[in-house]
Amino acid sequence: MSTGQQTETGTRARTRAAILEAAVVVLAQDAQASLADVAAAAGVGRTTLHRYFPERADLVHALARHVVHQSRRAIERADPHTGPVEAVLRRIVDEHFELGSILMYLYAEPLIHSDPDLAAELAAMEEAIDEVLARPEANLNPDLSRAWVRRAFWGLLYAGWETAKAGEMTRHQIVEAIMTTLSRGVYGATSAAR
């Protein structure tokens, strides 16, 4: 491969990444934003954007994969295999905080749910939570299934993101509220009595 080809590939990759990062910001703020809005935020023309993503669906699908990758990296940074369950869940909450708005958009986007592969990729993000909750020391409330607890975990994150968006609490307060709700409602009587 010539140097010119390497530069072009690098430039194309940077442009594609810039478009996806712009889409994260623009669509998280306004789910109805146009491709022209995304192009403007990325600092590229509409023609350039259409070269990478000919249709809105192409952009949304690429965005979903981009965000799933970011979520997986966030879970890796949270080191889900090290430390007590509550500490791991707190780290996962903290690592996902910045992804909140765009994840809210993706979970509500009909184009995602109509594509079984993308829906499966979003569901796969939750596997790390299931692994943490499956630990014997998780001491889950026996009245709750693990599937319910996993959904409650993501539901609390969603509530936290909405609360942050509304400016009603600080990030620290939101993380504490999520962890308090989990520890008093999910971990059973043993943890609640601490």
Of the CATH numbers 1.20.120.160, 1.10.150.120, 3.30.2010.10, 1.10.357.10, which one belongs to the domain with range 56-192?
A: 1.10.357.10
Range(s) within the chain of domains with CATH label 1.10.10 = 1-54
- Greatest Cα pair distance, the chain, in angstroms, is 66
- pLDDT (0 to 100) of residue 40: 97
Q: Which residues of the chain have pLDDT under 70?
A: 1-8, 187-194
DSSP 113-174: HT-HHHHHHHHHTTHHHHHHHTSGGG---TTS-HHHHHHHHHHHHHHHHHHHHHT-S-HHHH
pLDDT of residue 177: 95
Return residue ranges of the chain for CATH 1.10.357.10: 56-192
In this structure, which topology does domain 1-54 adopt according to CATH? Arc Repressor Mutant, subunit A (1.10.10)
pTM: 0.76
